[in-house]
Structure 1
Amino acid sequence: MYACSFMFIPGNLDDEFYALDKVIDDYARSLEGFVGVDRWWSKDSTAKNVVYFFTDHETVTTFAKFPEHVRAKKAYAKWYEGYQVIISEVTATYGDGKMPGLTLS
């Protein structure tokens, strides 16, 4: 499984941003290799982290090449004060079973 973390400091998140974000999110969810998504705000609410989980690297590449995603990446300065992307291979998940989450199967 792969975790793709999109961390950003929001700037002017306008209607165009939210419309494009929805199209990209809908596309990610439509992919056969989509596992799930988590969204988190930093404790001080200054930065957001959106983490998409995919079964394989091929799906990550397909997602990255989606034309609307490419468009958003080119226009990031309109909406973000700063950003960072981390793509990680997940080798294990664990917990006590009391918190919903993603698991490797």
Structure 2
Amino acid sequence: MFTSTFTFAPGNFTEEFHRLDQRIAEVAKSIPGYLGEEAWENSSTGLVSNVYYWESMEALMQLVHHPSHQIAKARQDEWLKGYQVVIAEVLRTYGDERMSHPLRGK
């Protein structure tokens, strides 16, 4: 399994940004191998992180190469004050089973 974490400093979110963001979310959810996502905000820095979970690197790369994602990447400086992406392989997960998580199921 893999994660793709998109951390960004929010900027000027236009209606066009929201439409494109919604389209990318729809595409991600339609890809076989998409497991789910989580979002976090750091109140002290204002940064936002979206963590997407994938069964395989191949599934993740389908989103990366999708035209909607490529448009967003090319135009990110119109809407964001900076971003960072981290791709990681999940080696292990564990917990006490009292909360749902995309890697464990609902």
Both proteins in one fold, TM over 0.5: yes
Per-residue deviation at 1:102?
Answer: 2.8
Instruction: Show the 5 A alignment for 1:71-82.
Output: 71-82=71-82
Deviations 1:62-92 (A, max 9, x none): 1100001000000000011010000000011
Count of aligned residue pairs for this structure pair: 105
Q: Aligned Cα RMSD in Å? A: 1.4
Counterpart of 1:66 in structure 2: which amino acid? H
Unmatched 5+ stretches in structure 1:
none
Sequence identity percentage = 34
TM-score when normalising by structure 1: 0.94
Q: Deviation per CA, 1:26-81, whole angstroms, max 9, x where unpaired?
A: 00000011000111111336111011111001111111000010000000000110
Letter in 1 for 2:38: D
Q: Following the alignment from structure 1 to structure 2, what is the Cα–Cα distance between the partners of residues 59 and 102?
A: 15
SS at match of 1:26: helix
Contact 1:5–1:87 (8 Å) recurs in 2: yes
Name the counterpart of 2:24: 24
1:92, 1:104 within 8 Å by CA — same for their partners in 2?
A: no
- Tell me, in whole angstroms, the C-alpha distance in 2 between the residues paired with 1:43 and 1:90: 27
Query: Which residue number in structure 2 is paired with residue 7 of structure 1?
Result: 7
Q: What does residue 34 of structure 1 align with?
A: 34
How far apart, in 2, do the equivalents of 1:4 and 1:23 lie? 18
List gaps (5 residues or longer) in structure 2. none
**Preserved CA contact (<8 Å) 2:13 2:79:** yes
Divergent runs of 4+, >6 A: none
Verify the 8 A CA contact 1:7 1:48 in the aligned structure 2. yes
Mapped to 1, the partners of 2:45 and 2:34 lie a distance apart of 27
